[in-house]
């Protein structure tokens, strides 16, 4: 055999090994997910014991586990995307922190909104137990399939809206349009506009304040030593009130004055801790925006972790709400469920499933939110995280329904569009055709006409990728009707089978 022939054979073998390795890696995540669903099904069979309806609970548990995986794969990206996109966290670090805090939030404080998801969307005064179970099962499966599809195409969607659409669709298929509580659906639809707009406005406002007080100053270091502790104090106070209001509401419901006092105490504590830390970190630091931005890295990581905790506490209901209703209906034998019982083993399915789904399938959506909408640094990502918390606080105080997904993505849009506006304004307001802040030295060469052409090209650049804006917005609008249609079809199929 010639040497060239041997080299070709070795290349083929090497290529086959590489292809086999890539294939095994691509199959590993679905394989682990399948094992998780099998374990969940077995776990459910032991948890409820043997009975005529055990198989229904087992099937429902597997579907709930599947939905939890999809919540972790899609929803959690909104909290960790900005931190990863700004390089404050590595992907592995983000996955570890999010998995821990999502599971902790779900187990310690999860399930407060289960009744809303599982009971308040439908008017069920005389619904039969079997019908109610099929409605919830179809809703859960439809919402899981839709979120799975959205994750596959890289679109961050609201899992809450997917579950809402699923419950509405199967409810209509079972008893007609009169069964739907349309006032609740109307408030949810309003959040399509309210959530991203509020998130974007608050994030842009925070970024503008930081630019005014720190990054646009001549002495950025001195300004940072004064203002960064103030921003940290605002963050700790806001998150203290946020967690007291939303994240811990299942185990503790403080009144308004208690919540406000808690925010003030933690704000003062945050300021006291941040003052010496900022001074230490800023020693020997260059007076440049890039270096000053690193002072926001640790506050951003803390904010992302707290958002994950609150998300686990609230959005675990999207995975287990309908399933908890199924378990309660099976145990009580009633379709009209006055109060959903939430056993710990049901809550654990949601907690473990969300964390596992994040680890197995989350990186793609994390990159979409953090890297593919607009360019983020530590300051912009910090503004997005802080905006998410304060938007939920304001919306809760005003009684407005909002989506954490829409808020987080809207905040990223907000900082991107603000940067774009400032870039265009400065380019138009400059007396020099080429703005030195946006054009490198190579663009200053050539004729005046070439320089002007280069300036116009830079002036017209877009700092927010429109393609992602349009595709994400379309996915938001379609989520409820798509999940509703899919759920109604699944209900009709399940009604024939079970």
Distances (CA, A) of 160 to 33, 185, 268, 471, 475: 22, 12, 35, 19, 13
**Residue range 190-248, pLDDT digits in tens:** 777 888 898 999 999 999 999 999 999 999 999 999 999 999 999 999 888 877 876 56
pLDDT value of residue 406: 86
pLDDT value of residue 181: 82
Distances (CA, A) of 202 to 199, 213, 384: 5, 16, 8
Q: Are 282 and 76 in contact (CB under 8 A)?
A: no
Whether 6 is in a domain gets the answer: no
Token pair in block for residue 313 = 């506490």
- With CA atoms as reference, report the closest residue to 363 among 177, 96, 166: 96
Residue range(s) defining the domain that contains residue 416: 32-429+462-497
Whether 18 is in a domain gets the answer: no
Q: Which residue has the higher pLDDT, 303 or 315?
A: 303
Instruction: Indicate if the pLDDT at residue 436 is higher than 50.
Output: no
Cα torsion angle, 249, 253, 256, 261, sign: negative
Confidence of residue 459 (pLDDT cuts 50, 70, 90): very low
Q: Which residue has the higher pLDDT, 236 or 367?
A: 236
Token pair in block for residue 102 = 């999502």
Confidence of residue 458 (pLDDT cuts 50, 70, 90): very low
Whether 39 is in a domain gets the answer: yes
Confidence of residue 456 (pLDDT cuts 50, 70, 90): very low
**Residue range 93-115, pLDDT digits in tens:** 988 998 888 888 887 766 655 55
Whether 125 is in a domain gets the answer: yes
Supply the pTM of this predicted model.
Answer: 0.80
Q: What is the 3-state secondary structure (H, E, C) of the chain?
A: CCHHHHHHHHHHHHHHHHHHHHHHHHHHHHHHHHHHHHHHHHHHHHHHCCCCCHHHHHHHHHHHHHHHHHHHHHCCHHHHHHHHHCCCCCHHHHHHHHHHHHHHHHHHHCCCCHHHHHHHCECCCCCCHHHHHHHHHHHHHHHHHHHHHHHHHCCCCCHHHHHHHHHHHHHHHHHCHHHECHHHHHHHHHHHHHHHHHHHHHHHHHHHHHHHHHHCCCCHHHHHHHHHHHHHHHHHHHHHHHHHHHHCCCCCCCCHHHHHHHHHHHHHHHHHHHHHHHHHHCCCCCCCHHHHHHHHHHHHHHHHHHHHHHHHHHHHHHHHHHHHHHHHHHHHCCCCCCCCCCCHHHHHHHHHHHHHHHHHHCHHHHHHHHHCCECCCHHHHHHHHHHHHHHHHHHHHHCCCCCHHHHHHHHHHHHHHHHHHHHHHHHHHCCCCCCCCCCCHHHHCCCHHHHHHHHHHHHCCCCECHHHHHHHHHHHHHHHHHHHHHHHHHHHHHHHHC
Whether 453 is in a domain gets the answer: no
Alpha carbon distance 249, 145 (integer Å): 29
Alpha carbon distance 58, 46 (integer Å): 9
Whether 95 is in a domain gets the answer: yes
pLDDT value of residue 231: 93
Alpha carbon distance 481, 425 (integer Å): 40
Output the average pLDDT for the chain.
81
Token pair in block for residue 317 = 């209901």
Distances (CA, A) of 205 to 14, 26, 340, 390: 54, 42, 41, 12
Confidence of residue 428 (pLDDT cuts 50, 70, 90): low
pLDDT value of residue 295: 94
Q: What average pLDDT score do residues 291-319 get?
A: 86
Alpha carbon distance 472, 474 (integer Å): 5
Q: Are 279 and 271 in contact (CB under 8 A)?
A: no
Beta-ladder partners of 374: 464
Count the domains in the chain.
Answer: 1
**Residue range 2-17, pLDDT digits in tens:** 556 555 554 565 555 5
Q: Tell how far CA 89 is from the center of its chain.
A: 16
Whether 446 is in a domain gets the answer: no
Whether 17 is in a domain gets the answer: no
Instruction: Indicate if the pLDDT at residue 339 is higher than 80.
Output: no
């Amino acid at each position: 055999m010639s040497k060239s022939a041997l080299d070709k054979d070795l290349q083929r073998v090497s290529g086959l090994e590489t292809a086999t390795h890539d294939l095994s890696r691509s199959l590993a995540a679905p394989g682990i997910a399948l094992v998780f669903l099998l374990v969940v099904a077995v776990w459910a069979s032991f948890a409820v014991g043997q009975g005529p309806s055990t198989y229904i609970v087992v099937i429902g548990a597997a579907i709930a586990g599947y939905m939890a995986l999809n919540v972790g794969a899609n929803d959690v990206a909104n909290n960790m995307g900005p931190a990863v996109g700004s390089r404050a966290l590595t992907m592995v670090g983000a996955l570890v922190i999010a998995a821990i805090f999502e599971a902790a939030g779900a187990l310690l404080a999860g399930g407060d909104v289960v009744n809303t998801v599982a009971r308040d969307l439908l008017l069920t005064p005389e619904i039969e137990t079997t019908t109610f179970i099929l409605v919830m099962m179809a809703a859960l499966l439809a919402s899981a399939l839709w979120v799975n599809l959205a994750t596959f195409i890289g679109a961050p969607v609201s899992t809450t809206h997917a579950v809402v659409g699923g419950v509405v669709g199967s409810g209509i298929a079972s008893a007609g349009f009169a069964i739907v509580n349309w006032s609740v659906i109307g408030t949810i639809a309003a959040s399509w506009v309210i959530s991203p707009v509020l998130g974007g406005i608050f994030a842009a406002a925070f970024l503008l304040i930081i630019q005014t007080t720190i990054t646009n100053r001549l002495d950025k270091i001195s300004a940072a030593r004064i203002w960064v502790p103030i921003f940290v104090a605002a963050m700790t106070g806001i998150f203290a009130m946020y967690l007291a209001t939303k994240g811990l509401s299942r185990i503790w419901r403080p009144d308004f004055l208690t919540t406000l006092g808690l925010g003030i105490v933690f704000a003062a504590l945050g300021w006291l801790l941040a003052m010496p830390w900022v001074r230490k970190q800023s020693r020997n630091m260059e007076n440049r925006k890039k270096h000053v931005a690193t002072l926001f890295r640790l506050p951003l990581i803390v904010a992302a972790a707290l958002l994950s905790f609150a998300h686990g506490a609230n959005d675990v209901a999207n995975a287990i709400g309908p399933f908890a209703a199924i378990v309660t209906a099976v145990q009580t034998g009633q379709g009209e469920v006055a109060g959903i019982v939430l056993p710990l083993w049901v809550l654990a399915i949601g907690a473990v499933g969300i964390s596992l789904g994040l680890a197995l399938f989350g990186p793609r959506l994390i990159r979409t939110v953090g890297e593919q909408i607009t360019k983020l640094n530590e300051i912009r990502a910090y503004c997005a995280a802080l905006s998410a918390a304060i938007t939920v606080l304001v919306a809760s105080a005003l009684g407005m329904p909002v989506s954490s997904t829409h808020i987080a993505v809207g905040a990223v849009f907000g900082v991107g569009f603000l940067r774009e506006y400032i870039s265009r304004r400065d380019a138009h307001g400059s007396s020099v055709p080429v703005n030195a802040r946006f054009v490198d030295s190579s663009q200053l060469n050539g004729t005046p006409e070439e320089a002007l052409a280069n300036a116009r090209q830079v002036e017209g650049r877009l700092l927010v990728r429109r393609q992602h804006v349009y595709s994400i917005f379309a996915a938001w609008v379609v989520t409820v009707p798509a999940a509703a249609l899919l759920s109604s079809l699944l209900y009709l199929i399940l009604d024939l089978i079970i």
